[in-house]
Amino acid sequence: MPNNKVLAIRRQNFAGWSMALPACLLVFTFLILPFFMAFGLSLTNQRLVSPNPTEFVGFDNFRQMLGIGLLTMEPDVDDTGNIKIDQEGNPIYPRVRNFTRNQDDYPQYFKKREWFRIGLPNDKMLVVLSQDVVFMKALSNTLLFALIVCPIQAGFALGLALLINQPLRGINIFRTVYFAPVVISMVVVSLLWRFIYDGQNGLLNALLQMFSLGLFEPVDWLGNTTTALPAIMAMSIWQGVGFHMVIWLSGLQTIPISHYEVARIEGATRWQTFRYVTWPSLRNTAILVMVIITMQAFTLYPQVQVMTRGGPLDSTQSLVFQAVVRGYEKQDISGGSAISVLLFLLVLSISLFQRYLTREKD
């Protein structure tokens, strides 16, 4: 027989749940339900605008995106059997188009496109074909973006946090200044940086020219395939660094002063203090920062949308940008959902891997 105390707890439990109910409902309707719907839609041919009924197509959308073909080409030979050579002395290869537009002889390559090529010994050329080159480029760009942005952003943020974690007069001004870009909308920041990166009269070019005494040739930062993605990376790091700085700062402030006092009494140098006192105490903060930065890096979108729209030549395509372009602009909801599902699986596996690496080793 339950006593009064248990009953009271049950009653409180009920009150608690009923208070949480509205939030739970909202989270379910707008986060959990769409999440499962994306899974479902990615297995259909659902369109944004269509009078046709939706059909189940299995994994077609994923096959379409991930299809890969390998083609090994021999150089062209002339009538005498010699390899044809271009002006720079490199062998000339047949056009990939001869293979990818020829359904009868090469059905396995039909309608695939060249992604990249690798030179093999004996003048052979390995061409990696993909069914959906734009998706592949979006995938590789997003991975590269995460790989470079995560460590640099986390590092800078820690540096800034250490700098502003000092009992100095007016330190709050610095905290505000570093945090300011975070509270400004990414779209606004992107618009401003588009002017900074402008190839003709942008601020960056003007500064570089001034400091190099006019030696620097202006670069069209966002119009160049080699500089567009790095330009977006630099801007993204600057924009997000303040947020992670605050997380690091909160971690730093949980470290008891007494630990530092002990270190000082023991005669530790500043580096030793950081290496053996600060860093181990920041372990949980570091895990949090890494997980958040990775997730944010994979959702690269507004910068691309505002600054380059994926160009030039797909050098700044990203997964989320492609999901939006396909799902909304090209009315292919199922294709957009398929990208979202792949992105989710990617981020989930990376986060699990990070958890595994940072697990308590007892």
Partner 1 sequence: MKQIVITKIIACFFIFTSSSVFAQTQLSMWYHGAGNHVEGEIVQQIIDDFNASQSDWVVALESFPQESYNDSVTAAALAGNLPDIIDVDGPILPNWAWAGYMAPLTIDESKLDGFLPGSLGRWNGELYAVGLWDAACAIFARKSVLEANGIRIPTLDAPWSHEEFDAALVTLQNSGDFDYALDLGMAWTGEWYPYAFGPFLQSFGGDIIDVEANMADGALNGDAGLAFGEFWQSLFARNLVPGTSQDGADRETGFINGSYALQWNGNWAALPALEAFGDDMLFLPAPDFGTGPKIGAASWQFGISSTSEHKDGASAFIEFAIQDKYLSAFSKGIGLIPPTEAASAMTPNYSPGGPLEVFYGLSNAQATLRAVTPAYVVGGKVFEKAMADIANGADVADTLDAAADEIDADIDQNNGYQ
314, 344, 350, 351: which one binds partner 1 (CB under 8 A): 314
Q: Which residues contact 312 (CB under 8 A, 6 or more apart)?
A: 223, 224, 225, 228
Q: What are the DSSP E strand ranges found in the chain?
A: 68-73, 113-119, 125-130
d(CA 111, CA 362): 53
Q: Do the beta carbons of residue 239 and residue 182 sit within 8 Å?
A: yes
Residue 63 binds partner 1 (CB under 8 A):
no
Choose between 100 and 239: whose C-beta lies nearer to partner 1: 100
d(CA 355, CA 9): 35
Residue 100 binds partner 1 (CB under 8 A):
yes
Sheet holding 125-130, edge to edge: 68-73, 125-130, 113-119
Q: Which residue has the tokens 């005498």?
A: 80
Segment (H or E) for 164: helix 133-164
Choose between 45 and 294: whose C-beta lies nearer to partner 1: 45
312, 344, 346, 358: which one binds partner 1 (CB under 8 A): 312
Residue 200 binds partner 1 (CB under 8 A):
yes
Residue-wise burial string across 121-131, b where 16 or more C-beta atoms lie within 10 A, e elsewhere: eeeebebbbbb
Binding-residue pattern over the window 282 to 311 for partner 1, x denoting contact by CB under 8 A: ---------------------------xxx
220, 286, 287, 354: which one binds partner 1 (CB under 8 A): 220
Tokens of 153: 């952003």
Choose between 41 and 158: whose C-beta lies nearer to partner 1: 41
Among the candidate windows 44-52, 177-185, 270-278, 349-357, which touches partner 1 by CB under 8 A? 44-52
Tokens of 314: 């797909």
Residue 188 binds partner 1 (CB under 8 A):
no
Binding-residue pattern over the window 330 to 359 for partner 1, x denoting contact by CB under 8 A: xxx---------------------------
Q: Whole-number minimum distance, CB 25 to partner 1, in Å? A: 21
Backbone angles phi, psi at 129, to 5 degrees: -100, 150
Residue 59 binds partner 1 (CB under 8 A):
no
106, 113, 208, 268: which one binds partner 1 (CB under 8 A): 113
Total of chain residues touching partner 1, rule CB under 8 A: 35
Q: Helix %, strand %, coil % for the chain, to 5?
A: 65, 5, 30
The CA-to-CA distance between both ends of the chain, in Å, stands at 43
Max Cα distance, the chain (Å): 102
For 280-347, the DSSP string reads HHTHHHHHHHHHHHHHHHHT--HHHHHHTTT-STTTT--HHHHHHIIIIIT--HHHHHHHHHHHHHHH
Residue 76 binds partner 1 (CB under 8 A):
no
Residue 259 binds partner 1 (CB under 8 A):
no
Helices (H) and strands (E) in the chain, counts: 16, 3
Q: Whole-number minimum distance, CB 85 to partner 1, in Å? A: 21
Residue 122 binds partner 1 (CB under 8 A):
no
Q: Whole-number minimum distance, CB 99 to partner 1, in Å? A: 12
Residue 199 binds partner 1 (CB under 8 A):
yes
34, 39, 48, 162: which one binds partner 1 (CB under 8 A): 48
Q: Which residue has the tokens 């959702």?
A: 299
190, 198, 263, 339: which one binds partner 1 (CB under 8 A): 198
Residues near partner 1, by CB under 8 A: 45, 47-52, 64, 95-97, 100-101, 111, 113-114, 133, 198-200, 220, 222-223, 225, 309-314, 328-332
